[in-house]
Amino acid sequence: MPIELKMPALSPTMEEGTLAKWLVKEGDSVSSGDLLAEIETDKATMEFEAVDEGVITKLLVAEGTDGVKVGTVIAVIAGEDDDSASASKAAPAAPKAEAAAPPPPPPAAAPVASAPAPTPATASADERIKASPLARRIAAERGVDLSQISGSGPNGRIVKQDVEAAIGGASAAPQAASAPQAAPAPKPAPVAAIETDIPHEVVKLSNMRKTIARRLTESKQQVPHIYLTVDVRLDALLKLRAELNASLESRGVKLSVNDMLVKALALSLIQVPKCNVSFAGDTMLQYSRADISVAVSVPTGLITPIVKGADSKTLSVISTEISELAGRAKEGKLQPHEYQGGTASISNMGMMGIKQFEAVINPPQGMILAIGAGEKRPYIVDDALAIATVMSATGSFDHRAIDGADGAELMKVFKELVEKPLGLVA
């Protein structure tokens, strides 16, 4: 029987996406694991793979269509034994004029609540777990037990997004379980259209920019921010960095100041655990590991890949991970589990000469550290006026979860670690 291909949820929070590009056309034969389309989410462009064999009989959503709801039927595949598949193979190619005609609009997506529950994938002696090759590979690499995952593909088959959702959900599950069922936040009022006679062009917002606008608006409206700033002397850290880079040169590793600040923030969160938290209504999540989200600017906006367990990693490992994650972030190749989560964030605008700024918290995280430029300033050294390299660092804290005194303690510890940086390599 014909198989409906539906807009997949490529991350646990995805509600809609843009069908950026079809990689197949009507009449093409596909096999499990073949790439069908490129789908743009709010953070990346990801590939959508086939989970069954058959012939593409209909593409229902045109390339470039925005706002395609998860669950919307986007194409139809006829199985190899279907009459429609044979007819499609035998039928002559449609004239170009017809092929170019816009496809019919997709049917409205069914509400999530009424969608049928996915079929659990169970294994027995005589029944193999149904999973796509790519899903199996990702599960093997990440140590995920496929028998514990429910498949959303045809006939309960496990596909890539199911495995990724399981990986991402593992860290999100405690919060979901402990958070009370609160009423949904009111949607912000629509922004009025701007009428102007100034020469201009209308620029279409990317999904990422829409998400940034929505989440930052919600953060400023719902999270009471408290800002704490310290001036930090960098001379000792810069000297240590130069010495470490000289020894790491043969390994192809070059530490940045930001790599060392990520480590300093991670250790500070472990030393001041009251700041390594998330507010969850009537409860708080207290993290025992410091996963640091690092703000990276990309052509379509901002994304925050995560250095997991940064408190226990060496500076060289942190540097390598940040470089690799930032490179793939700019190419739109990050997987959801690489940018969703984190216990705190760091945003460094010092390289652009910004002296000081206050960053917006990225919920459900409880804090973000904003790093300004290191610059030569008059500074008291050993009770005497001298010239030192100094930067300003500002912590933004969720005042619902973190008291000012605890935030101040974290900033104090961070300052001490940076000014006496041997603690970063101990």
9 and 136: one domain? no
Name the catalytic one among 200, 225, 337, 399. Answer: 399
Q: Please answer whether residues 3 and 52 qualify as being in contact, where contact means their C-beta atoms are separated by less than 8 angstroms.
A: yes
108 and 124: one domain? no
Residue 215 domain-assigned (yes or no): no
Q: Per mean pLDDT, which range of 1-15, 137-151, 177-191, 351-365 is the poorest?
A: 177-191
* Whether the predicted pLDDT of 272 surpasses 70: yes
15 and 75: one domain? yes
- Would you give the distance in Å from CA 294 to the centre of its chain? 11
144 and 12: one domain? no
Residue 182 domain-assigned (yes or no): no
CATH number at residue 28: 2.40.50.100
Indicate the SS3 state at residue 17.
strand
CATH number at residue 281: 3.30.559.10
Q: Is 143 exposed, middle or buried (0-12, 13-18, 19+ CB in 10 A)?
A: exposed
Q: Of 87, 115, 143, which residue constitutes the final position of a domain? A: 115
* Region for residue 322 given its phi and psi (left: phi exceeds 0; alpha: psi -120 to 50; beta: otherwise): alpha
145 and 269: one domain? no
* Region for residue 64 given its phi and psi (left: phi exceeds 0; alpha: psi -120 to 50; beta: otherwise): left
pLDDT recorded at residue 217: 92
Q: Which residues pair with 345 in a beta bridge?
A: 293, 368
* Whether the predicted pLDDT of 324 surpasses 70: yes
How many domains does the chain divide into? 3
Q: Which residues pair with 228 in a beta bridge?
A: 395
241 and 360: one domain? yes
pLDDT recorded at residue 306: 96
Confidence band, pLDDT 50/70/90 cuts, at residue 99: very low
Residue 85 domain-assigned (yes or no): yes
Instruction: Tell me, yes or no, if 337 is annotated catalytic.
Output: no
265 and 347: one domain? yes
The average confidence (pLDDT) of the chain is 83
Q: Per mean pLDDT, which range of 90-104, 219-233, 395-409 is the poorest?
A: 90-104
Q: Please answer whether residues 359 and 393 qualify as being in contact, where contact means their C-beta atoms are separated by less than 8 angstroms.
A: no
43 and 126: one domain? no
Confidence band, pLDDT 50/70/90 cuts, at residue 379: very high
Residue 129 domain-assigned (yes or no): yes
Q: Give the DSSP per-residue string, 99-155.
A: HTSPPPPPPPPPPGGGSPPPEE---BTTB---B-HHHHHHHHHHT--GGG-EE-SGG
Residue 258 domain-assigned (yes or no): yes
pLDDT digits (tens, 9 = 90+) for 339-365: 989 999 999 999 999 999 999 999 999
* Whether the predicted pLDDT of 49 surpasses 90: no
Residue 214 domain-assigned (yes or no): no
Residue 8 domain-assigned (yes or no): yes
User: What pTM was computed for the model?
Assistant: 0.62
325 and 240: one domain? yes
pLDDT recorded at residue 179: 39
Residue 123 domain-assigned (yes or no): yes
319 and 403: one domain? yes
- What is the extent of the structural domain holding 155? 119-170
Instruction: Please report, for the chain, how many H helices and E strands are present, in that order.
Output: 9, 21
pLDDT recorded at residue 225: 97
